[in-house]
Amino acid sequence: MPEDPGTYAARYRIRLKTREQVEGIRKCGQLALETLDLVEKMIRPGITTGQIDEVVHRFTIDNGARPAPLNYRGFPKSVCTSVNEVICHGIPGPRVLKDGDIINVDVTPVLNGYYADVNKTFFVGDPGPDALKIVTVAKRCLKEGLAMVRPGNTIGDIGWAIQQWAESNGCSVVREFVGHGVGLAFHEPPQVPHYGNRGEGVRLVPGMVFTIEPMINLGGPELDILEDRWTAVTRDGSLSAQFEQTVLVYEDGWESLTPFEL
């Protein structure tokens, strides 16, 4: 007798979401997307990453939610802002954005107890060729990963598709940070690596909700963590870009709970 999906998921400590929970995560996802839209409108040379934090914090609170990053394992701000060679977990502060920069903004509100996690990389002013390339490749990597999501496929299929696209375009995939289950907590099982082999890893079953969030470097995949113990930067100083969505596996395939055009 084939194993029941709930039993299979439970073996990996994965909590399948009910219809009601999915609705809660979707609503939170809508707020997260509105927050990113607001951020996009303010991005221009001359603003600081600290100003982005203020806007995200205020907008989140005003909408009856709370920013998950604030005080999460000691993270001091309400949003991650990662500029140029910063891969992820950049801490907002006095850094001034300049023309030609790229900046990833990663927002995770908690609304009525539900978490949705989404990020985009934006251009500041006019992008140069390297900025254009890494952002284009990273965005397509998320799209390739999402296209693998359906019951019966595995987590390895997602990572394989992402790695394939990144490396065949001369870019590299960060290994130290991965996608993750999300919805009832910030980070739940399973882990979702953005590299891997077809057919390997946990099998996808309807009701799973997780992020795909490939961090793609223009140079090598190696990273360093700065003295602040959060900021991850490329070791070779090359540009890094990322896009993230929260995705639901359902009977016929996938549905983004934080949809934006890719």
Site residues for Co ion per CB under 5 A = 106, 117, 119, 211, 213, 244
Could you tell me how many residues of this chain bind ligand MF3 (CB under 6 A)?
12
Instruction: Give the residue, chosen from 53, 85, 101, 106, that forms a contact with ligand MF3 under the rule CB under 6 A.
Output: 106
> 80 or 204: whose CB is closer to ligand MF3?
80
Is residue 92 at the binding interface for ligand MF3, with CB under 6 A as the rule? no
Of 162, 170, 98, 106, which Cα lies nearest the Cα of 133? 170
Question: Which one of the spans 55-63, 73-81, 140-148, 191-199 is the region binding ligand MF3 (CB under 6 A)?
Answer: 73-81
Is residue 78 at the binding interface for ligand MF3, with CB under 6 A as the rule? no
CA separation for the pair 156, 222 (Å, rounded): 21
Is residue 145 at the binding interface for ligand MF3, with CB under 6 A as the rule? no
CA separation for the pair 159, 261 (Å, rounded): 21
CA separation for the pair 14, 182 (Å, rounded): 10
Instruction: Give the residue, chosen from 213, 248, 254, 258, that forms a contact with ligand MF3 under the rule CB under 6 A.
Output: 213
Tell the burial category of 97 from Cβ atoms under 10 Å away from its Cβ (0-12, 13-18, 19+): buried
CA separation for the pair 144, 165 (Å, rounded): 8
Which positions lie near ligand MF3, rule CB under 6 A? 69, 72-73, 75, 80, 89, 106, 108, 117, 211, 213, 244
